[in-house]
Chains A and B, each alone.
Chain A
Amino acid sequence: MAKNKTILYAAILAFTFIAPFAFPAFGTQLATLWLMIIVALTWDMTGGQMGYNSLGNIFFYGTGMYVAALISIGMVYDIGDYTNAAGGGIYKFTDLQYFGGLALGVLGAGLFCSVVAVVIGYLTFGLRGPYFAIGTLGVAIAAGELVSNWDWVGGGQGIALPVYPGDLDTGKIFFYFLFAAVGVSTFLFAKWLYGTRFGAAINAIRDDEEKADAMGIHTLRYKLYTWAMAAFFVGLAGGISAFQLIHFEPLESAYQTINLGIFMVVCVLLGGKGTLWGPVIGAILFHLFKEVTWNYLLGWQWVALGALIVVTVVYFQDGVMGYLMHRYPELFGIKVDEKTREEVA
């Protein structure tokens, strides 16, 4: 079994490396797929493993975008002047400035988002269940509205970043590998985290927070750490997205509450909440569904998407992994005696 797993992981890793060269026409799509996997995995850290269903994780994506852009611009030019020119003017970036700004900006975005997550978490983690979801959704919407009124960072027009210096096709592959690197590290981090004592503690919070508290787990601290970790990876992804998209604006691409903000939740529910592989499988299925409807059902794509959300939530909430676990428990190392099986069947 262990050998099979090693082969599986090796195969997936190999596919990750080959994919952009094998399907060059889908370079951007594959990068977006990695983005979906990252946000779904991080949503599952709090939503699936800790039982705190946030609708506002998109806040970290948007904030990451802005922080990365502002750091990389601010190192070279005055930000107010740059955003005033709105992509016009003569603002040139040398290769060193571009890549240096990208590296520092993306890392800074991740760290900044972790810090903000602790602050917001301190205020919102007293909310439970639906109130937490509504509260975090409110944070994301409010941030988008405020940023779109803030002229220093470009207001409603957003920010235009420099274009990748060099061949555009190389640029696509470059961003694909950036996303893939963050995605793989998010997955490995989550896999390691869920096996530790920390993972057990956040699962305890999900199952019964009062009892976990009574057992001596400092619940608020665990919740803050978990959210900060999730925010770090979302911030990284947001920072990379800012450079990949080149131009972004606050309401539709940065704080896109009803797009990516909801997609990540649907991905996790589709794949199976509270499992390691669920978010990954869900993200792949969802991305496929989204691209197919966007191509063949144009105009009706949002209706199809809404219907997918409703059907997933109402009829198929355990997701693919939940279904498999129910149907073939042996695959997950759960022993079932024949009598129970007959009773269930």
Chain B
Amino acid sequence: MDQILGNIGLLFEFPVVNLKIVLDGIMVGALFALAAYGLALVWGVMNVKNLAQGDFVISGGYVSWYLVQNGFPALLGVPIAFIVMWGIGWVVYKLVISRVIERDLFTSLLATFGLAIMMAQILNLLFGSDTQSVDLGYDVLYFFDGFIDVPIAKLIGVLMASALAAGVIIFMKSSRMGQAIRATAQDARAARVMGIDTEKVYAFTFSLNSAICGAAGAIIVMVWVIQPFYGISYSIRAFVIVTAAGLGNLPGVIAAGLGIGALEQYGAHIFGIGYQQAIAVMLLLLVLLVRLIQQRRNRQVLK
């Protein structure tokens, strides 16, 4: 308890520590937001809750890591992971997801959970259970007498994440396929009547989600570490963000992603790093509870 109070006191004594925590949180949150956006896309368009989201992220990271081990430049890993994970997402869609779209939601949850177990274990068998990362070899920038350290690699990561998010948003707004995806999300049956091949839209959406996750993973491997079994924690955070922001609310997803990143860093600072995973899950429960109370006021339930 004393330690917790001491940690809180530290925040007031050195206000600059707050800035560091918020900055760290935003950098983490930007990547969470990417994975969460993919989840929101799949959830909104085809009503599939993908619990393997985090494992797509980790797979993308391993694609990039593998390329770097074989002499490719690290920054090239991001687009290649995007493309490779696009293919993997398409295969997964054809084999599993296409058969659970019409079923109830628990089916998709459980099927993707099985998928998550498989993917984590295959990665473990292929690459071993050690944590891996890619060192870009860039400098670290220091501000405020060394209180705040910002590695350039992290800055590049955040920039790439924002560029990817912007690209996806523009694509969804203006391209023909983006329009078709949004139409399918609104009403799949009407879209079919209007001549949109919804099956193709579903396959495209799921592949796009997988590709976004893959690119996010390729950025994560440059900035932090990855390990075959880290996937579930990214899945949980994606669920927290989407549940908090609501479906089809892109600015909300980004804001929630950044906010949860910052909250988690604060929690880890105050309670100790051992609680970081617990804090992510507690935030999920908190968000569910708040939504529940909101709904109860309208005499409705969270469906």
A contact residues vs B (CB 8 Å cutoff): 53, 55, 123-124, 126-131, 133-135, 138-139, 141-142, 145-146, 148-149, 258, 262, 265-266, 269, 299-300, 302-303, 305-310, 313-315, 317
Interface assignment of B131: CB less than 8 Å from any CB of chain A:
no
The smallest C-beta distance from B244 to any residue of chain A, in angstroms, reads 13
Q: What are 13 A-B contacts with C-beta separation under 8 Å?
A: A126-B292, A127-B292, A127-B302, A130-B109, A133-B109, A134-B243, A134-B288, A141-B277, A145-B275, A145-B277, A262-B113, A313-B110, A313-B111
- Given the complex, which residues of B lie within 8 Å of A53, measured CB to CB? 106
B98 to chain A: closest residue by CB: A314
The answer to whether A315 and B295 have CB atoms under 8 Å apart is no
Chain B interface SS verdict (over half): helix
The smallest C-beta distance from B7 to any residue of chain A, in angstroms, reads 15
The answer to whether B274 and A149 have CB atoms under 8 Å apart is yes
B112 to chain A: closest residue by CB: A310
- Given the complex, which residues of B lie within 8 Å of A302, measured CB to CB? 117-118, 120-121
Interface assignment of B4: CB less than 8 Å from any CB of chain A:
no
- Given the complex, which residues of A lie within 8 Å of B19, measured CB to CB? none
The answer to whether B100 and A313 have CB atoms under 8 Å apart is yes
The answer to whether A130 and B301 have CB atoms under 8 Å apart is no
A85 to B121, CA, bound (A): 35
The answer to whether B289 and A309 have CB atoms under 8 Å apart is no
The answer to whether A135 and B117 have CB atoms under 8 Å apart is no
The answer to whether B292 and A138 have CB atoms under 8 Å apart is no
Interface assignment of B156: CB less than 8 Å from any CB of chain A:
no
From B96, B284, B292, A134 is in contact (CB under 8 Å) with: B284
The smallest C-beta distance from B91 to any residue of chain A, in angstroms, reads 13
A210 to chain B: closest residue by CB: B301
Among B106, B109, B121, B303, chain A packs the most CB atoms within 10 A around the CB of B106
A128-B301 contact, Cβ under 8 Å, with A133-B106, A145-B275, A262-B113:
yes
Interface assignment of B94: CB less than 8 Å from any CB of chain A:
no
The smallest C-beta distance from A54 to any residue of chain B, in angstroms, reads 10
- Given the complex, which residues of B lie within 8 Å of A146, measured CB to CB? 275, 278
B contact residues vs A (CB 8 Å cutoff): 49, 96, 99-100, 103-107, 109-111, 113-122, 125, 232, 236, 239, 243, 272, 274-275, 277-278, 281-282, 284-285, 288-289, 292, 295-296, 301-303
From A129, A139, A266, A305, B105 is in contact (CB under 8 Å) with: A129
A309-B117 contact, Cβ under 8 Å, with A135-B288, A142-B278, A299-B125:
yes
A129-B285 contact, Cβ under 8 Å, with A145-B275, A306-B118, A313-B100:
no
From A130, A300, A303, A309, B106 is in contact (CB under 8 Å) with: A130
A165 to B259, CA, bound (A): 54
The smallest C-beta distance from A326 to any residue of chain B, in angstroms, reads 17
The answer to whether B303 and A306 have CB atoms under 8 Å apart is no
A47 to chain B: closest residue by CB: B106
9 closest Cβ pairs, A-B complex: A309-B114, A306-B118, A145-B278, A302-B121, A306-B117, A310-B114, A142-B281, A130-B105, A313-B111
The answer to whether A317 and B107 have CB atoms under 8 Å apart is yes
A148 to B281, CA, bound (A): 14
Chain A interface SS verdict (over half): helix
Among A126, A130, A262, chain B packs the most CB atoms within 10 A around the CB of A130
The answer to whether B114 and A307 have CB atoms under 8 Å apart is yes
The smallest C-beta distance from B57 to any residue of chain A, in angstroms, reads 17
A309 to B108, CA, bound (A): 11
The smallest C-beta distance from A166 to any residue of chain B, in angstroms, reads 39
From B107, B117, B285, A138 is in contact (CB under 8 Å) with: B285
A141 to B96, CA, bound (A): 26
The answer to whether B107 and A305 have CB atoms under 8 Å apart is no
A135 to B284, CA, bound (A): 8
- Given the complex, which residues of A lie within 8 Å of B236, measured CB to CB? 138, 141
A149 to B239, CA, bound (A): 24
A266 to B109, CA, bound (A): 12
The answer to whether B110 and A265 have CB atoms under 8 Å apart is yes
The smallest C-beta distance from A51 to any residue of chain B, in angstroms, reads 10
Among A55, A124, A149, A306, chain B packs the most CB atoms within 10 A around the CB of A306
The smallest C-beta distance from A26 to any residue of chain B, in angstroms, reads 26
A213 to B153, CA, bound (A): 57
From A130, A142, A310, B282 is in contact (CB under 8 Å) with: A142
The smallest C-beta distance from A325 to any residue of chain B, in angstroms, reads 19
A269 to B114, CA, bound (A): 13
The smallest C-beta distance from A238 to any residue of chain B, in angstroms, reads 20
A269 to B120, CA, bound (A): 23
A127 to B295, CA, bound (A): 10
A127 to chain B: closest residue by CB: B302
A51 to B96, CA, bound (A): 24
The answer to whether A128 and B118 have CB atoms under 8 Å apart is no
- Given the complex, which residues of A lie within 8 Å of B106, measured CB to CB? 53, 129-130, 133
- Given the complex, which residues of A lie within 8 Å of B302, measured CB to CB? 126-128, 131
- Given the complex, which residues of B lie within 8 Å of A124, measured CB to CB? 288
The answer to whether A127 and B288 have CB atoms under 8 Å apart is yes
- Given the complex, which residues of B lie within 8 Å of A314, measured CB to CB? 96, 99-100, 107, 111
A74 to B107, CA, bound (A): 43
The answer to whether B96 and A310 have CB atoms under 8 Å apart is yes
- Given the complex, which residues of A lie within 8 Å of B125, measured CB to CB? 299-300, 303
B43 to chain A: closest residue by CB: A130
A130 to B111, CA, bound (A): 13
A126-B100 contact, Cβ under 8 Å, with A302-B118, A307-B118:
no
- Given the complex, which residues of A lie within 8 Å of B289, measured CB to CB? 123
The smallest C-beta distance from B36 to any residue of chain A, in angstroms, reads 14
The smallest C-beta distance from B272 to any residue of chain A, in angstroms, reads 8
The smallest C-beta distance from A143 to any residue of chain B, in angstroms, reads 9
